Amino acid sequence: MSEYQEYQQLVVDTAKDLTHKGFLSATGGNLSVRIPGIKGFAITPSNYDYLKMIPEDICVLDMELNPLGGERRPSVESTMHAAIFKARPDVNAIIHTHQVYPSTLALIGKPIPALFDEQVRFLGRSVNIIPYAPSGTGMLVKTVAKHVGDHNNAYIMTNHGALLLAGEMERAVHNVAVLEKCALAYLLALCTGEKVSHIPLAVREIAFAKLRKDQKKYGKEN
């Protein structure tokens, strides 16, 4: 049994859970969890069916992407995950999906403003758009690393998908669902052509302060 079994199992269980909920499909997307103590992380393998995955399939890499465990080739987005873990010590779990509604908003260049208290409490002040760069390229890594510096927990990637961050995996899964709900509500509101109402600025700042307080705890440990 691998010394990283606990983290590999968490990645397998989460990938299956997200597949059953419809947020991951086929081999699209990827997810990772930071492994404290080794300056590394466990990540889904490249191009492999989520429902067939077992812990041994999950790759363990250090932050320079040297392999430490797992039998498969790591996701092509491993450099992006490493860059986020380096840029955001408060983040221990990353989920990248190709989920439909946020992806649709990215297609029409609409970031999600602060619409719901719950959204800001978990996803941040707004869900911003990361400009297009091809998957697996240095250009995408650089662009993503720059954007996550605003300390939000959700982003939409133009012509690609969504990116969710959190202090722990359970919360990252929750964030995937919160983002889907907000994106759908915003999309429907935009379709009416009516003015879209935002939450008051003061409420937004209180919710965001709570999120930052929660997450700084994790940052201190890394």
Interface with Zn ion (CB under 5 A): 161
Q: How would DSSP label each residue in 105-151?
A: HHHTT--B-S--HHHHHHH-S-BEEEPP--TT-HHHHHHHHHHGGG-
- Smallest distance from Zn ion to CB 31, Å: 11
- Closest CB to Zn ion among residues 91, 95: 95
Which one-letter amino acid corresponds to residue 26?
A: A
Give the whole-angstrom CA distance, residue 202 versus residue 114. 11
Give the whole-angstrom CA distance, residue 156 versus residue 150. 14
The count of other CB atoms within 10 Å of the CB of residue 172 is 25
- Closest CB to Zn ion among residues 114, 165: 165
CB contact set of 1 (below 8 Å; sequence gap of 6+): none
Helix axes 169-192, 5-20, angle to 10 degrees: 30
Closest residue to Zn ion using C-beta atoms: 161
- Closest CB to Zn ion among residues 129, 207: 129
- Smallest distance from Zn ion to CB 132, Å: 12
- Closest CB to Zn ion among residues 14, 215: 14
- Smallest distance from Zn ion to CB 159, Å: 10
- Smallest distance from Zn ion to CB 30, Å: 7
CB contact set of 11 (below 8 Å; sequence gap of 6+): 31, 32, 33, 42, 43, 44, 55, 58
- Smallest distance from Zn ion to CB 77, Å: 6
- Smallest distance from Zn ion to CB 135, Å: 6
- Closest CB to Zn ion among residues 95, 115: 95
- Closest CB to Zn ion among residues 124, 161: 161
